Structure 1
Amino acid sequence: MNLPSAAPLDLLYSETEEELRTAVRSLLTARCDPASILARIEDGRPHDPDVWRILAADIGTAGLLVPEKLGGQGASHREAAVVLEELGRAAAPAAYLTSSVLATEILLGCDGARSTDLLRELAAGRRTCVPALPLTLAPGAPLPPSVRDTGAGVLSGTVTSVADAVAADVLLVLADTGLYAVAAADVRLTPLVALDLTRPLATVTLEGAAGTLLADPATARAAVAGALLSGAGLLASEQLGLAEWCLTQTVAHLRTRHQFNRPLGSFQALKHRLARLWLDVASARAAARAAADALATGAPDAPLTIAVAQAYCSGVAVRAAEECVQLHGGTGMTWEHPAHLYLKRAKADSLALGTAGHHRGLVADFAELPAP
């Protein structure tokens, strides 16, 4: 396919984006530090409702992608990307990607009175909504026909690996007759043992659950496909934030840790490893910002840009987390040090919304490259 030319990319952060970053980082530093996250994980309650209320409602990040006429901020994917960078930097257990990005994009694609009402609730931070879809579902992949309408919007079926379902008030369920909003209290949630304990997974079982129809099958599938694309593009920003934290913490550790009466960071082999990692993170920043800008501007080559960002940022986040654990030595292997949270999040993110291999395949298709 011949891709139309796109407008020049603007990869720099605006003043508004930096102010948003400052507000989100201040909240996460004060209320979502690694010790607090570990304590909540040990209690089996990773999500902090108070942190989510401040993030979503008080700061207003939940409505960034929602138009002002619907009670949102009327911002763009660039601002949402900044929020995800900071959430990745803190490895914060927050349903932002699932609720404020994926669910919001699906509802925006439905364009109906009932979806509009739910969007207003989400933008105000009064509701948390999560798509009842596997976290590993990738853009361009077939949508799973796992839920059926037994009549009059009564739904039955099972969906596995649904992220943040335990923190949701409403689930968006894709059934054979369209998209439905189902109260989380009307379904059975079975928690799964997830690698990433900061983004809990659950199996959602619907046994005659009553749903409110939001869109017909064709509209619903188009809305879900668009949301998956946006989610994959913005996930790259979360991976970027994660990688930046790992690099910063590793450099700080090697500056202060001594061996043979010298800082570890002064050893040439370690300098080279950190230099390569810095280059990887800098490239990941460019790729993630390009994906966010392509989504914000509606660039015609957005699918290709997003596929490139995911194919690259996924691996960078994993490498940065692995280096962080290894170069912290024995300390990095302990439960008390947060490095393992970042490694697990990076590994889980590398499977979320499509693997790097899947996105490389999309790059090949978009660029008309022959398969090997």
Structure 2
Amino acid sequence: MTDLLYTEEEEALRAAVRDLLGDHSDAAGVITRTESDAPHDLRLWKALTDKMGLAGLLVPEELGGQGATHREAAVVLEELGRAVAPVPYLTSAVVATEALLAFPHSRLRSSGGTPIADDLLGGLSEGTTVAALAVGLHTAPGAAFPAVRLENGALHGELTGVADAAFADLLLVPADDGGLYAVDAAAATVTPQVSLDLTRPLATVALAAAPGRRLGDAAPAVRRALRAGAGLLASEQLGVAEWALTETVGYLKERKQFNRPVGGFQALKHRLAQLWLEVVNLRAAARGAADALTTGEDVDVAVAVAQAYAASVAVHAAEEAVQLHGGLGMTWEHPAHLYLKRAKADSIAYGTAGAHRDALAELVDLRAP
């Protein structure tokens, strides 16, 4: 039977990431960044990639990565979610990396004799290159996705809702010939879109006769990438929910009314107990998805289960944090709004809970009458 408990190595990784985030990513700094034109934290990204090599966790060692599993990546995402860290870890180190890993590493050779995907993975694993899959953040695994036009060997068209595209050096773009193309971000026009979650900005990517290198078939690569993104997104949502629960419990222990701690009131105890149960269940679902991605067993079912449940818990936890912090929770200076926005945005990322429930019903043959 699969053991979903955290290993000693995973707990050590968590402690290291949490310490690093404590030194480099405080709530006030994140809030300040969301009010600027550059929400991404380059200093934090450099610390995550240079000091710890976290960008290459999913990249095999022979390609310059860490050769770790999705379980370790999930632990990192829990901590990044807990800090609402404005870095492109999910989009680059997970989604784009998984898309590149879908291609064989013995064909498609570049002029230097190295497989093209291998060249790109080397930059991603070192963190010197940030990549974005040019598919709308709302797209669920297995769903249809728009493609640009391939004409005379160049790419033409526009793709919307691409997460972290403004921060990317490399775009992985699906084309109407069925291929996935590697495009230098400098060859595209990237226009920011209004996004609820300012720590993970969206953008429109426009291509006008942009050159690209064909990597292989887009459909299986995009599906693999989005499935990994959806599965590990649950770990980020777990981090958001755990922060909201922990901070709310701590605040209610200190806040007093009628000379008593507010947390002692029975009605609030019941709300927090219910939220705790939801977070515990979310942890099990998120760990199940990460483990399935690692072992390759029942991956589609585990990912669908996690995402069918995760969104409502993360949103509920963030809403309770805002409400139970009272007037303080409604202020722009308090970080609770960052978590609510991240939870709301995540609830439609890589497919809504409803889309995943529909997918799960098909997978287990329990369709609605």
Taking structure 2 as the reference length, the TM-score comes to 0.96
What is the CA deviation profile of residues 176-203 of structure 1, one whole-angstrom value per residue up to 9, with x for unaligned ones? 2311111111111111110001000000
Q: Does 1:349 align with 2:342?
A: no
**d(CA) in 2 for partners of 1:309 and 1:56?**
28
| Distance in 1 between residues matched to 2:194 and 2:366, nearest whole Å | 39
From 116, 120, 125, the counterpart of 1:118:
120
Asked if the contact 1:110/1:220 (under 8 Å) is kept, the reply is: no
Counterparts of 2:314 and 2:210 in 1: how far apart (Å)?
39
Residue 362 of structure 1 deviates from its aligned partner by 1.0
Report what 1:185 is aligned to. Answer: 186
CA distance in 2, matches of 1:202, 1:370: 36
Residue by residue over 1:212-266, the C-alpha shift from the partner in whole angstroms, topping out at 9 and shown as x without a partner, is: 1211xxx321111111111110000000000000000000000000001100000
Aligned partner of 2:276: which letter? W
**Unaligned 5+ runs, structure 1:** 1-7
Letter in 2 for 1:202: A
- Residue equivalent to 2:112: none
Q: Distance in 2 between matches of 1:47 and 1:23?
A: 21
Contact 1:247 1:324 in 2 (8 A): yes
**Cα distance, 1:143 vs. partner?**
2.3
1:263 pairs with 261, 270, 282, which one? 261
Shift of 1:367: 1.2
**What residue number does 1:224 align with?**
222
Consecutive aligned runs of 4 or more in structure 1 exceeding 3 Å deviation: none
* Alignment correspondent of 1:76: 69
Spell out the pairing of 1:27-38 with structure 2 (5 A cutoff): 27-38=20-31
Letter in 2 for 1:236: A
2:169 maps to 169
Match of 2:246 in 1: 248
Q: CA RMSD in A?
A: 0.9
Q: Is the 8 A contact 2:166 2:191 kept in 1?
A: no
Match of 1:302 in 2: 299
Unmatched 5+ stretches in structure 2: 109-114
Aligned residue runs from structure 1 range 1-372, under 5 A: 8-111=1-104, 112=108, 113-145=115-147, 147-152=148-153, 154-177=154-177, 178-215=179-216, 219-299=217-297, 301-372=298-369
Q: Aligned residue pairs: how many?
A: 359
Partner Cα distance (2:30, 2:276) in 1 = 27
Question: If the length of structure 1 is used for normalisation, what is the TM-score?
Answer: 0.95
Offset of residue 32 of structure 1: 0.8
Measure the CA separation in 2 of the matches of 1:38 and 1:76.
Answer: 32
- 1:133-174 CA distances to partner (integer Å, 9 max, x unpaired)? 1000101211223x011112x101000010001111111001
Determine helix, strand or coil for the equivalent of 2:137.
coil
Percent of pairs with identical residues: 62
Cα-to-partner distance string for 1:84-139 (whole Å, 9 max, x where unaligned): 00010001111011000000000000224111100011111110011111000101
| Aligned 8 A contact 1:62 1:124 in 2 | yes
Which residue identity is paired with 2:40? H
Q: Give 1:5's aligned residue.
A: none
**Counterparts of 1:151 and 1:23, CA distance in 2:** 50
What CA distance in whole angstroms lies between the structure 1 residues aligned with 2:71 and 2:246?
23
